[in-house]
Every structure is written in C-alpha cells, then in structure tokens.
C-alpha cells in the first residue's frame, strides 16, 4: 500500500507551501514548534537561510513521505483501508515516526480498536506546549479520514444472471406440448368428419335403388363398409393417444 493522490493532496493542503520568495523558490522557516521547516512541511536537513526550488521541494517531500509510509507499514499490524493508511501517514509526517511508534493511538489500533485509535488523534494538538488551532483542525480531519474507510469504493461482486441453454428440439417439453395439441385437434376433426361419412354411407346403403345402382356399377358395399371400419380403427387409436396425452384414463 502506498500513499494515494488524495492523501498527498490532504497533507499538502495542511502543510501549505510556505515562505515562497518568488521565482518558484522557498526559504526555510521555523514552525510553531521551533523546528526548521521548508516547502510543505519538509524538515530533514533543513537549516536557517536554506532556499530551494519548487522541483527540489517536491522531491524532498516525496523522499520524506516515503520514510513515513514505511514506518506505518512496519508499525501497524492490523489491516488498513486506503483512507486509514493515508491518515496515519499524514499523522506521522506531522508528529514524527518516533511519536507514532510510542503513541496510544498505535497501541489501540494494533489491538483492533479502530474507534479508540481514531479518538487518540486529538491528543496531538499542541505545538510549543500550546494548543494550536491549525493542529486541532488537522487532527480532526485525520480522524475523520481514518474513520471514513473505503466501503463506498470497495468492488462489489455481482452475480451474472443465469442464461438457460437452448434445449434440443427432441427434449423440449414445449415442442412436444405443441405437437400433442395439434394431434388432439386433428383427432377431433377426424372424429366429426368420420361421423358424417359413416352416417351418410349407412343412409345411402339402405336405399335399395341406389344400392342396386352401385352393384351394377361394380361397387362392393362390403368393401366400402370394411374401409369405413378400418378408418374407425385408426380413429379409436388416435382417441386413446389424445386421452393419454391429456393425462386421463384411456
């Protein structure tokens, strides 16, 4: 884990790039705690009368921040969110790694008491033995950042909706249902048609003149009757299939 861009902006906003002297240059000054400081809170190797450029200041800040980042990673034994890590780096950069290592804040944090650790930021609000409004604001902002966490930015796993694979036609209940419906309709139609045909044949064969005419023409009424009987047989088979498909007794 490394300091985020938001964390760097946070630290820079509180430190400020103080004592510019023009032409992109900065001069060293003593902070309220009496420590020689330059640019945005840089203190390492700083002395009276020291002047640096913007580029040199940015490089010094990155170099010093790297040490505080390492200190946080080495000293903290529990898991941290990015916001918690950034808040601790800001705290260490301001008070020093030695102060962080001996702080009650760190003890509570490593014991898993995150809320208790956040409450201890406020202890470090003095400079030169006096409570400084700037430090009060900074500690409150660090505690708020620490407790904010990253829940809103955490990636959430979303299950993809299941897409049922297309079934082969031979296994599709929908297709067989449609076929069964079609067969049932055909059977009903054939039943009605056959009823009319049988009734008509029965009526016609009872008319003696027509019967004689059919015989003279070579027609065989027995063959006609046999054909009708066979057709009726197929009709009965079709009825059984339809009843079975509907779930009833044959």
> What pLDDT does 151 receive?
41
More confident residue, 80 or 198: 80
Task: Return the ∠ at Cα 248 (arms to 244 and 250), rounded to 5°.
Answer: 60
> Given CA atoms 56, 58, 59, 64 in this order, what sign does their dihedral have?
positive
Lookup result for tokens 């009965």:
236
Q: Which two tokens stand for residue 134?
A: 């700037």
- Tokens read off for 242: 């339809």
Q: Across residues 212-228, what is the average pLDDT?
A: 48
Q: Which helix (H) or strand (E) holds 26?
A: strand 25-27
In the predicted model, is pLDDT for residue 188 greater than 60? Answer: no
Structure tokens at 86: 């950034």
Please say if the pLDDT value at position 243 is more than 90.
Answer: no
Which pLDDT belongs to residue 242? Answer: 55
For the domain made up of 5-152, give the CATH fold: Lysozyme (1.10.530)
Q: What confidence category does residue 191 fall into, taking pLDDT thresholds of 50, 70 and 90?
A: low
Most confident of 34-48, 166-180, 197-211: 34-48
Average pLDDT in the chain: 75
C-alpha separations of 111 from 26, 68, 80, 116, 117 in Å: 42, 21, 13, 10, 9
Of 15, 64, 69, 142, which is the active-site residue?
Answer: 15
**Percentage with pLDDT > 90 across the chain:** 52
Amino acid 10: pLDDT: 96
Q: In angstroms, rounded to a whole number, what is the distance separating the alpha carbons of residues 209 and 60?
A: 127
Residue with the larger pLDDT of the pair 219 and 60: 60
DSSP secondary structure letters along 104-149: HHHHHHHTT-HHHHHHTGGG--EETTEE-HHHHHHHHHHHHHHHH-
Q: In the structure, what pLDDT confidence band is assigned to residue 128 with cuts at 50, 70 and 90? A: confident
The whole-number average pLDDT for the span 158-172 is 39
Judge if pTM exceeds 0.85: no
Higher pLDDT, 24 or 195: 24
72 vs 196, residue with greater confidence: 72
Which of 129-133, 167-171, 218-222 is modeled with the greatest confidence? 129-133
Q: What is the pLDDT of residue 202?
A: 45
Dump pLDDT digits (tens) for 86-120. Answer: 999 999 999 999 999 999 999 999 999 999 999 99
> Does 144 qualify as catalytic in the annotation?
no
> 154 pLDDT exceeds 80?
no
């Amino acid at each position: 884990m490394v300091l985020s861009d938001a964390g760097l902006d946070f630290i820079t906003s509180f430190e400020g790039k103080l004592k510019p002297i023009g032409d992109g240059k900065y001069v060293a000054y003593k902070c309220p705690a009496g420590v020689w400081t330059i640019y945005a809170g840089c203190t390492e190797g700083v002395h009276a009368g020291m002047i640096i450029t913007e580029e040199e200041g940015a490089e010094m800040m990155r170099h010093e921040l790297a040490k505080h980042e390492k200190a946080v990673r080495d000293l903290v034994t529990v898991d941290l969110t990015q916001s918690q890590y950034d808040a601790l780096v800001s705290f260490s950069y301001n008070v020093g790694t030695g102060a962080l290592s001996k702080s009650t804040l760190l003890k509570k944090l490593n014991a898993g008491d995150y809320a208790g650790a956040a409450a201890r930021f406020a202890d470090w609000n003095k400079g030169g033995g006096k409570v400084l409004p700037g430090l009060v604001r900074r500690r409150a902002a660090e505690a708020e950042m620490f407790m904010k966490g990253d829940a809103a930015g955490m990636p959430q796993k979303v299950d993809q909706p299941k897409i049922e694979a297309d079934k082969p036609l031979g296994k599709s209940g929908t297709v067989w249902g449609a076929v069964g419906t079609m067969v049932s309709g055909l059977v009903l139609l054939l039943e009605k048609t056959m009823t009319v045909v049988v009734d008509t044949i029965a009526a016609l064969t009872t008319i003696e003149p027509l019967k004689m005419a059919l015989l003279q023409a070579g027609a065989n009424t027995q063959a006609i009757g046999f054909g009708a009987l066979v057709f009726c047989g197929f009709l009965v088979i079709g009825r059984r299939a339809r009843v079975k498909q509907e779930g009833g007794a044959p």
